[in-house]
Amino acid sequence: MDVEAATEWARSAGYERVVTVGFSMGAAVVLRHGALRPRRDGYGGTDAVAAVSGPAFWFYRGTPPMRWLHRGVASPLGRLYLRSTMGVTVDAQRWPDPPPLTPTASAARIRALGIPLLVVHGDADAFFPLEHPRALHTSAPGSRYWEVPGFGHAEGAIAPDLVDRLADWAEDPEADSSE
């Protein structure tokens, strides 16, 4: 709903094209938004989606940082630690069963709707190994995939040249032919 509110605001401010970009969990958020809230009659929605350093699978615990994160989220003491040391509040309510639309299913739907999709991931990401972006890209035929050597995780590791490259892609997602 936050992403939809932002896209609606951008449209009401006169922006004709809106591209959503998400980093890490934000990548999963913009993927779901693009899949479930496509542009409608000139308001809301997105014209293109870029998912940077995002997960492909819910409940992933295959790396040490993700195991620590799940431990923190799963217990009252862990949530207290996250809130007091990192300023992050985690809702104790469990996800519905079945869980929300997966990132891979979202990516597939985005492409089925004809929305340009860019998946960006670094080979030095400690949270999500390369199986994640490759699964997102494979699930969404016609998507773009940039595997960036030396890039770590999300906005904390992104270099200015990659930010510029993302901005260039957002200006004209259809013109980019690099995979």
**Phi, psi for 86 (deg, rounded to 5):** -120, -5
CATH class of 2-57+101-170: alpha beta
* Structure token pair of residue 11: 């449209």
CA 156 from chain centre, in angstroms, equals 15
**Phi, psi for 120 (deg, rounded to 5):** -125, 130
Note the pLDDT of residue 179. 47
Find out whether 145 and 119 touch, Cβ atoms under 8 Å: yes
Most confident among 73-77, 92-96, 145-149 (mean pLDDT): 145-149
Measure CA of the first residue to CA of the last residue in the chain; give whole Å. 31
CA 78/CA 173 separation, integer angstroms:
41
Note the pLDDT of residue 90. 87
Answer yes or no: is pLDDT of 174 > 90: no
Per the prediction, the chain carries an average pLDDT of: 92
Q: How would residue 176 be classed by pLDDT, with cut points 50, 70 and 90?
A: low
One-letter identity of residue 97: D
**Segments making up each domain of the chain, as ranges:** 2-57+101-170, 59-94
Note the pLDDT of residue 41. 64
Q: Give the HSE-up count for residue 61: Cα atoms under 13 Å, Cβ half-sphere.
A: 9
Find out whether 108 and 114 touch, Cβ atoms under 8 Å: no
- This prediction's pTM: 0.90
Which range among 33-47, 51-65, 98-112, 162-176 shows the weakest confidence by mean pLDDT?
33-47
Mean pLDDT of 72-79: 91
Note the pLDDT of residue 43. 66
Helix (H, G, I), strand (E, B) or coil at 146: strand
pLDDT digits (tens, 9 = 90+) for 22-67: 999 999 999 999 999 877 766 678 999 999 999 999 999 999 999 9
> Who contacts 132 (Cβ-Cβ below 8 Å, separation ≥6)?
54, 55, 56, 57, 60, 121
CA angle centred on 105, ends 102 and 109, rounded to 5°: 135
CA 121/CA 80 separation, integer angstroms:
31
Which range among 19-23, 30-34, 97-101, 141-145 shows the weakest confidence by mean pLDDT?
97-101
Note the pLDDT of residue 42. 60
